[in-house]
Structure 1
Amino acid sequence: MEDFRRTYQRLCKEAGVEPQESVLTQLQEVRAAASGTKLDLSGQSLTVESCSMLGKSLQNNTLFTELILSDCMLSEEGTKLLLKGLCFNTTVKLLDLKGNNLRGAGAEALGKLLMRNKTLQRLVLEWNAIGMWEEGFSVFCEGLASNSSLTQLDLRNNQINHQGAAEISLALKRNSILRELDLRWNNIGLLGGRALLEALQQNHTLLQLEMAGNNIPSDILRAIEQSMAHNADRHLTLRESHTKTKVLSKEIQFLKEEKNRQVLNLMETIDKQRNEMGQSSRTSSVRLGQLRKL
């Protein structure tokens, strides 16, 4: 923690900007708490300069696995600078950006993050506005489609309409990693619900899809629930099959090793018998020679 604090201060000095006092205070509190792997800067109203320095500090940092930046009043520029550094981070598994009113540029930056980062597993984006910006949200969904690590995504209250839902559905058709997706309290509607239902005909790995508060007809919601149930059953079957395969593989390996041991033991026995027979033959020859001399 102290190394991270010093890195942040050094980068601020090199850039000719004052370290944000609230950030230093929070870093000191985290150090005192000895929490180790969680950096919580929620509610700190981060400046653009702090976002830039934090992004650079996090780029090569291997300490934090959780980064909480909810309600930080992030600007579009600050968001881009912060997420740029996280693109190359290899330890952060949880990123919470709840309540920052992220818009088009933020959505694009998040899309690039999802394209490049290989370790992020949970992303919380509740109470933002990325669904309002068609181009930015398209980049975000493209990143989601190609991502290979994210398993949980929270998009509650992001003003996602049926067009945004169509973009998400395209991403789900290509993504096989995401397990939980929360889309509650958007404006997906009938067309968006149909698009997502269609995506679930191809996506068999998503296990939980929350859709309440989207003005989606009940029959489509039931169909989505059925698809989730089928995916869950399929996942359970695959997991059981995988477990059985592992057990069977271990048994086969044991039998192979046991067979090898038996073969080695047999070879040792044969060699021993051969040596004994050779010794017996030599002894007999010696005795026969002695008898002939008599």
Structure 2
Amino acid sequence: MVSAVKIYIKLCQDAHFAPNDDVIAALKAAGKSGELNLRKHTLSSWTWESLGRVLSSSGAVFKVDLSDCLIPSQGVACLLGHLARNMSVHTLVLRGNNIQSNNVGRIGALLKHNGNLKKLSLEWNSMGLFPEMFSEFCEGLSVNMSLESLDLKNNQLPPEGARDLARAISRNKTLKYLDLRWNNLGWNGGQLLQAALKKNMSLTKVKAQGNYIPQEIVQALERRTPNDVDHLAQSEFLRQRLAHLKNMEEKKLVQHALESKDKMAEVVKLEQERSKELEELARANERKLQEELERSNSRVSQLENILSEREATISVLQTQLQETEADLKNTRDKVTDRESHHSTIAVERYERIQALTSQLEEKEVQLTRTEADAERRLTAEQRLTAELRARVQSQEEEDERLRQDVAQLNDKLKALARQHEGTNLRTRLERVWELVDKRNPSYIERLLCSTWTLLHEHSLNQEILSKCEREWEARTTKLQGENKVLTERLEVSERGKAELGAQLALERAQRQEEVALATQQTRAREASKLVQLEERVSSLREEKQLLETQLAQSKL
């Protein structure tokens, strides 16, 4: 099949088309198994034409399955034209391709020219909608000498098409299996098929259910067995043999009559003897046929008994199937109720999560506001602390200046005191002694008053100096106390801010963990319940499929 792949790739290159990977894979698989499987592949008309060319030149493909491909009309025409020249394909499946119009007649042409095709499946098409083309198809079927199995289910075959189909069946000599189920052949079509089967010597199995045909005719069509075909063939052979013998005897009698009139009596006698022999032979054949008919009737009665038993089994299986379907329906209702309940619980949990999230967001907003307020208060306190520190620093500078001024004043006072004590007092004492010597009491009194005034001023300056020192010490102590209080307040606010931030982070982490845990638990519970329900539904479906399979087998 490597050559087929090469041919397909070369055709694509010549036509400037990209090769289809699915087609290449199918051709490679066909090279190993002999089956070209392209089911449910939608391809272009040119691709189908190229596949037809590949099949016409390849002899390694024995089965072609193109089910449910919806092949375009032009693609069907090209494919059928090339398959008519193929001598290796013995099985062709064209199920579900909506074959219409002229392509129905092209299938008839394929049957005329292809002498190797043994099995053809055409179910789920629309061949019956085109009576003229279906007539051409039947003409091809009537002259075909290789086809053994034909599937025409669900093709909308009308009663008018039954006439052409019956004519083809009566002429065909190789067809063994014919499936006509689920069409519209009607009562008249059933009668025509029944009459055609009497002339056909090869068809052993016919399926005609779902055609609006009376049940007795359907049973007569489907009860046809290989023994019936053999009986018909044997009867036909006997009839032909008798006719041949009669012809031979007539010829001999005429010859003897012409040769000699004298032998007429002998000829008559021989004729009578021959007639007696023929009658005896006919009676013997009739007895054989009667015996065969009786055996066939007994076989038919046995088959009817088997059929009744199988019908009883089918009814039991149908009852079980109905019960299973009821259980499946109840289970589906329960699943629906549980899904609605789970959806309600999920909505409630989602609403709770949303509420918790909103509460968490509100708390985060409150914490953010608290942090902002704390930061603002901290900023204000820091600003106030800076101002107080600046004030303390300026007060310290002022105190330093006051200290320096007081020291300078003290130095000046001390210098003045020493000066007064040293010079003035001495000069005044000298003047006093002079005045004493001069006996001037008024001057001495004034001098003593001025001296007393100077001493009083000195004492006042000493008191002012000591008062300034005490005030400076008091203000310094007060400022130190305020500075200590502000520092403590600043430390307390910083510690409160750190504790508040840690508490906020802890609460946020706790809320997030709670939300994540609740979401995870909810999803895990819902997933486990969903898996259980899916397993239950799948088990019920398998039981239903098993019962349907048993029912189909019992019908067959």
The TM-score, its normalising length taken from structure 2, stands at 0.41
SS at match of 2:102: helix
2:113 alignment partner, one of 104, 112, 116 = 116
How many correspondences in the alignment?
A: 235
- Corresponding letter in the other structure for 1:122: K
Aligned to 1:54: 51
Aligned to 1:278: none
Q: CA deviation at 1:218?
A: 1.6
Distance of 1:2 and 1:237 partners within structure 2: 50
Q: CA deviation at 1:103?
A: 1.1
Larger Rg, first or second structure (1 or 2): 2
Aligned to 2:83: 86
2:21 is the counterpart of 1:21? yes
2:93 is the counterpart of 1:96? yes
Distance of 1:229 and 1:119 partners within structure 2: 23
Distance of 2:234 and 2:44 partners within structure 1: 49
SS at match of 2:78: helix
Aligned to 2:5: 5
Which has the larger displacement, 103-112 or 80-89?
A: 103-112
Distance of 2:30 and 2:199 partners within structure 1: 44
Cα pair distance change 1:18/1:135, threshold 3 Å: farther
Distance of 1:224 and 1:13 partners within structure 2: 53
The answer to whether the Cα contact below 8 Å between 2:8 and 2:50 also exists between their aligned partners in 1 is yes
Cα pair distance change 1:164/1:25, threshold 3 Å: same
Once the two structures are superposed, the pairs formed by residues 142-291 of structure 1 within 5 Å of their partners are 142-228=139-225, 231-234=228-231
Cα pair distance change 1:232/1:3, threshold 3 Å: same
Q: CA RMSD in A?
A: 2.0
Cα pair distance change 1:24/1:234, threshold 3 Å: same
SS at match of 1:6: helix
Q: CA deviation at 1:224?
A: 2.2
Q: CA deviation at 1:20?
A: 2.8
Q: CA deviation at 1:45?
A: 0.9
Per-residue Cα deviation, 1:242-269 (whole angstroms, up to 9, x for no partner): xxxxxxxxxxxxxxxxxxxxxxxxxxxx
The answer to whether the Cα contact below 8 Å between 2:111 and 2:141 also exists between their aligned partners in 1 is yes
2:36 is the counterpart of 1:39? yes
1:126 alignment partner, one of 99, 123, 126 = 123
- Corresponding letter in the other structure for 1:140: F
The answer to whether the Cα contact below 8 Å between 1:209 and 1:228 also exists between their aligned partners in 2 is no
Q: CA deviation at 1:30?
A: 4.7
Distance of 1:86 and 1:195 partners within structure 2: 32
The answer to whether the Cα contact below 8 Å between 2:149 and 2:175 also exists between their aligned partners in 1 is yes
The answer to whether the Cα contact below 8 Å between 1:62 and 1:90 also exists between their aligned partners in 2 is yes
Distance of 1:68 and 1:3 partners within structure 2: 20
User: Structure 1 regions of 5+ residues with no counterpart?
Assistant: 239-294
- Corresponding letter in the other structure for 2:152: L
- Corresponding letter in the other structure for 1:39: L
SS at match of 2:199: coil
| More helix, by proportion | 2
Cα pair distance change 1:230/1:193, threshold 3 Å: farther
The answer to whether the Cα contact below 8 Å between 2:85 and 2:113 also exists between their aligned partners in 1 is yes
Per-residue Cα deviation, 1:111-141 (whole angstroms, up to 9, x for no partner): 1100100100000111111111111111111
Distance of 1:64 and 1:25 partners within structure 2: 14
Cα pair distance change 1:230/1:161, threshold 3 Å: farther
Distance of 1:67 and 1:223 partners within structure 2: 34
- Corresponding letter in the other structure for 1:89: N
Per-residue Cα deviation, 1:37-84 (whole angstroms, up to 9, x for no partner): 111111111210011111111112110100111111111111010011
Per-residue Cα deviation, 1:131-177 (whole angstroms, up to 9, x for no partner): 11111111111110110100000111111111111111010111111
Cα pair distance change 1:51/1:124, threshold 3 Å: same
The answer to whether the Cα contact below 8 Å between 1:166 and 1:195 also exists between their aligned partners in 2 is yes
- Corresponding letter in the other structure for 2:177: E
User: Structure 2 regions of 5+ residues with no counterpart?
Assistant: 236-556
Distance of 1:186 and 1:230 partners within structure 2: 28
Cα pair distance change 1:229/1:63, threshold 3 Å: closer
The answer to whether the Cα contact below 8 Å between 2:208 and 2:221 also exists between their aligned partners in 1 is no
The answer to whether the Cα contact below 8 Å between 2:101 and 2:130 also exists between their aligned partners in 1 is yes
- Corresponding letter in the other structure for 2:50: M
Distance of 1:179 and 1:60 partners within structure 2: 29
Aligned to 1:273: none
Distance of 2:132 and 2:151 partners within structure 1: 20
SS at match of 2:178: strand
Distance of 1:54 and 1:111 partners within structure 2: 20
SS at match of 1:25: helix
Distance of 1:226 and 1:69 partners within structure 2: 32
Which has the larger displacement, 8-17 or 205-214?
A: 8-17
The answer to whether the Cα contact below 8 Å between 1:17 and 1:49 also exists between their aligned partners in 2 is no
The answer to whether the Cα contact below 8 Å between 1:44 and 1:72 also exists between their aligned partners in 2 is yes
Distance of 1:208 and 1:227 partners within structure 2: 6
Per-residue Cα deviation, 1:71-102 (whole angstroms, up to 9, x for no partner): 11111111010011110111100001111111
- Corresponding letter in the other structure for 2:106: A
Q: CA deviation at 1:236?
A: 9.8
SS at match of 2:146: coil
SS at match of 2:198: coil
